[in-house]
Amino acid sequence: MRKIAVVDDNADNRLIIRTILEDQYEIMEFSGGIEAIEGFKKTMPDVVILDISLPEMDGTEILRRIRDDAVLRDLPVIALTAHAMVGDREKYLSVGFNDYVAKPILDMSILFSTIQRWIPA
Amino acid sequence: MLQQAIRVLLIEDQEADYLLTRRMLSTVEGRVFDLEWARSYHAGLDAIQRRVHDVCLVDYELHDGTGLDLLKECVAIDYQSPLILLTGYSDYHIDMEAMQLGAADFLVKDHLTPSLLERAIRYAIEQSRTMHELRRQGEELRASELRFRSVVQSANDAIVLADDQGKIIFWNHGAERIFGYSEDEVLNAPLEVLMPPHYREAHRLGLQRLRSTGKAKLIGRTLEMEGLRKDGSEFPLELSLATWITAEGTFFTGILRDISDRRRADDLRRAKEEAEQATRAKSQFVAGISHELRTPLHAIIGFTSILLQNKSGNLNQRDTDLLQRVLINARDQLGLIDSILDLSKVEAGKLEMQTAVVRIDQIVHEIVEQFEVNLAGSAVKIHARMPVRIEPIQTDAARLKQVVINLVENALKFTEQGMVSIEVVVNPSNSKPIRIDVTDTGIGIPARQLKRIFEPFHRLERVQEGTPGGTGLGLSISRSICEMLGYDLTVKSEPGRGSTFSIVVDREANRLPIPA
């Protein structure tokens, strides 16, 4: 089973994504950036879903560390953000995220199709 | 050292007296006299007119006039050189009259000696010079005084002079205008009448200190205090004080400026800054709280969506209907929070613009496609009307799209059936976009509401009246975004027929009539 890492400080948000995806993917949950990066080094996920508004280290900074890391740099990272303003997608893609999903997840098929773009079946 | 010759005019009709005078002058040591002799009153008058003599000696009794007449002539023509009258005898009355007419001296011929004559001439010249100098200084003083008065009187500021007892001794027009007292009313009055009571004690002490020590705290400084007008009102003023000392004592000059306007402007600016600060603080608060409000909604929406999938098959139709209601309400609330967040960003000026070359037709197609999916099966249709060719423009595509979407959503809210159309109007000569119209066939807007329609929360009133809902923020946000993009957002409406909202991209071109 392919592994999806979910990095979000809110347990409910992690549970929602787990519930949606757990039939098809193995879910790794992390509540913060530092433990996530350590966890990735032990077990490499296939895709990372990364919340942007995290209390200690925000998603953009975590992404930068992933891209700077020789082992992790090619990981597909999907931004998960509540800043659902028009134009946000372009903004996050331009800083190096592979893809973008807006919170709340109103259409589950969008989450699936976004993940599938980065994990060829 | 050779002294310059003293030019002497002698008006004398007796040759013997002339010769005598010449001999006397020639015996004076150390001085050279250049003597001109006029033999009659009239010859003398002619000679005087040339005004080349340092001094003039005049015999009192000439056959064709008297020395006194000549003196009067000299006064009449404002003759500058001194005149010494010579007589054969001493006469007190003639002497007095001559002196009154400005004669420098009055000499009796029989008593004359060379040294007496020389001294009389020297004194007369010296005295005349002194007089002229005094007169010149007096004139300069008068000119200076006039200059001073004209400067002081034309000043806008109040200029007040006082003596060391604090009595007002000068009061200019500016002071009259600012304080309301005329010069007559305040001359010799104490300065205290110009200040509110709580300054008076300090003022008296200051004057005392100045008189006893010659020192004053406020001299040479500019300070702000309050003044008291004649009508009893107080006003803020700026005061600069200087002192000057003459033989008559110490005096003050106070220059006072009414700064009510400046204070008012300062107060206004401060109030504006405070208001802006409050708006920023409010916006930050709203942004912060919006995030907190969204987070639980995300969970509600997420979990409800998952339940609605009914994976275990335990839910009946009624259960899923109710869950659907939960989901719709949660999403509506999310939309409301998003709008508030947008508005606070717009108000805080935090909405960043990213401009690029943008194709409007592409944006419109995307929007129409998006809404067509949502409107499938509804009684409302959406469509676009665009010319074949539209010049791309420099703008922020995302923001422009947001505004058009807002307008379409708004139009759909008030249109139960019919059509919502997006029309791009271009300048036929160069295909440059002039405006984007979003037109509906909905209920329209009454004229009295049109003015207020762009105000935040305007629609909330109508929600309570049971008309279609919404945050009432969409149009306000849309207008703000249009302003940031340099566009106008206008509306035309006819109740019962529908409304047209126009994003005016090119204000200039929009004013001109469009050829059909």
Each residue of B389-419: pLDDT tens digit? Answer: 999 999 988 889 889 998 998 888 888 888 8
How many C-beta atoms lie closer than 10 Å to residue A49's C-beta? 25
Residue numbers in A near B396 (CB within 8 A)? 87
Give the pLDDT of residue B516.
46
Q: Which of A31-40, A102-111, B173-182, B347-356 has the lowest mean pLDDT?
A: B347-356
CB contact under 8 A, B399 and A86: yes
Q: Does the pLDDT value for residue B177 go beyond 90? A: yes
Between A89 and B462, the higher pLDDT residue: A89
What residues of B are in the A interface, CB distance below 8 Å? 291, 294-299, 301-303, 305-306, 309, 331, 334, 338, 342, 354, 396-399, 401-402, 405
Give the pLDDT of residue A105.
80
- The percentage of chain B sitting over the pLDDT mark of 70, rounded to a whole number, equals 94
CB contact under 8 A, B399 and A106: no
Give the pLDDT of residue B472.
65
Q: Does the pLDDT value for residue B513 go beyond 80? A: no
What does the alpha-carbon distance between residue B504 and residue B317 come to, in Å, rounded to a whole number? 48
DSSP B236: E
Give the pLDDT of residue B370.
82
The mean pLDDT of B461-485, rounded to a whole number, is 68
What's the gap in Å between the CA of A84 and the closest CA on chain B? 8
Q: Which of A22-26, B351-355, B416-420, B456-460 has the lowest mean pLDDT?
A: B456-460
Tell me what the pLDDT averaged over chain B comes to: 86
Contact B438, B401 (CB under 8 A): no
Alpha-carbon distances of B388 from B139, B164, B293, B356, B514, rounded to whole Å: 89, 90, 45, 22, 17
Position B349 confidence tier, pLDDT thresholds 50, 70, 90: low
Q: Does the pLDDT value for residue B100 go beyond 80? A: yes
The mean pLDDT of B105-114, rounded to a whole number, is 87
What does the alpha-carbon distance between residue B453 and residue B154 come to, in Å, rounded to a whole number? 54
Instruction: For the sheet with A26-30, list strands across it.
Output: A26-30, A3-7, A47-51, A77-81, A99-102
Q: Does the pLDDT value for residue B460 go beyond 50? A: no
B-chain residue closest to A13, CA distance = B299
Q: Does the pLDDT value for residue B377 go beyond 90? A: no
Q: Does the pLDDT value for residue B464 go beyond 70? A: no
What does the alpha-carbon distance between residue B228 and residue A11 come to, in Å, rounded to a whole number? 70
Position A76 confidence tier, pLDDT thresholds 50, 70, 90: very high
Give the pLDDT of residue B467.
47
The mean pLDDT of B147-169, rounded to a whole number, is 88
Give the pLDDT of residue B463.
42
| pLDDT tens-place string over residues B25-69 | 998 888 889 999 999 999 999 999 988 899 999 998 888 888 888
A-chain residue closest to B334, CA distance = A104
What does the alpha-carbon distance between residue B409 and residue A7 come to, in Å, rounded to a whole number? 34
Residue of B290, B292, B293, B301 best to disrupt the A interface, most CBs of A under 10 A: B301
Q: Is the Cβ of A106 closer than 8 Å to some Cβ of chain B?
A: yes
Residue B491 buriedness (CB in 10 A; 0-12 / 13-18 / 19+): middle
Q: Is the Cβ of A102 closer than 8 Å to some Cβ of chain B?
A: no
Contact B106, B94 (CB under 8 A): yes
Position B346 confidence tier, pLDDT thresholds 50, 70, 90: confident
Q: Does the pLDDT value for residue A41 go beyond 80? A: yes
User: Residue B436 CA to chain centroid, in angstroms?
Assistant: 44
Give the pLDDT of residue B458.
58
Between B458 and B42, the higher pLDDT residue: B42
Which of A103-117, B169-183, B273-287, B463-477 reaches the highest mean pLDDT? B169-183
Give the pLDDT of residue B3.
66
| pLDDT tens-place string over residues B200-237 | 998 888 888 878 877 767 777 788 899 999 999 999 99
What's the gap in Å between the CA of B404 and the closest CA on chain A? 12
Residue numbers in B near A16 (CB within 8 A)? 298-299, 302-303, 306
The mean pLDDT of B458-467, rounded to a whole number, is 46
CB contact under 8 A, A16 and B306: yes
Position B1 confidence tier, pLDDT thresholds 50, 70, 90: very low
What is the helix, strand, coil percentage profile of chain B, to 5? 50, 20, 30
- The percentage of chain B sitting over the pLDDT mark of 90, rounded to a whole number, equals 36
Give the pLDDT of residue B461.
47
Q: Is the Cβ of A120 closer than 8 Å to some Cβ of chain B?
A: no
What's the gap in Å between the CA of A89 and the closest CA on chain B? 10
CB contact under 8 A, A84 and B338: yes
The mean pLDDT of B345-367, rounded to a whole number, is 81
Q: Which of A77-81, B149-153, B336-340, B388-392 has the lowest mean pLDDT?
A: B336-340
The mean pLDDT of B451-477, rounded to a whole number, is 62
CB contact under 8 A, A104 and B291: no
Pairing of strands A3-7, A47-51: parallel
CB contact under 8 A, B342 and A90: no
* A104 closest CB neighbour out of B297, B342, B405: B297
Q: Does the pLDDT value for residue A86 go beyond 60? A: no
The mean pLDDT of B10-39, rounded to a whole number, is 90
The mean pLDDT of A9-37, rounded to a whole number, is 93
CB contact under 8 A, B295 and A104: no
Give the pLDDT of residue B515.
54
Q: Is the Cβ of A84 closer than 8 Å to some Cβ of chain B?
A: yes
What's the gap in Å between the CA of A107 and the closest CA on chain B? 8
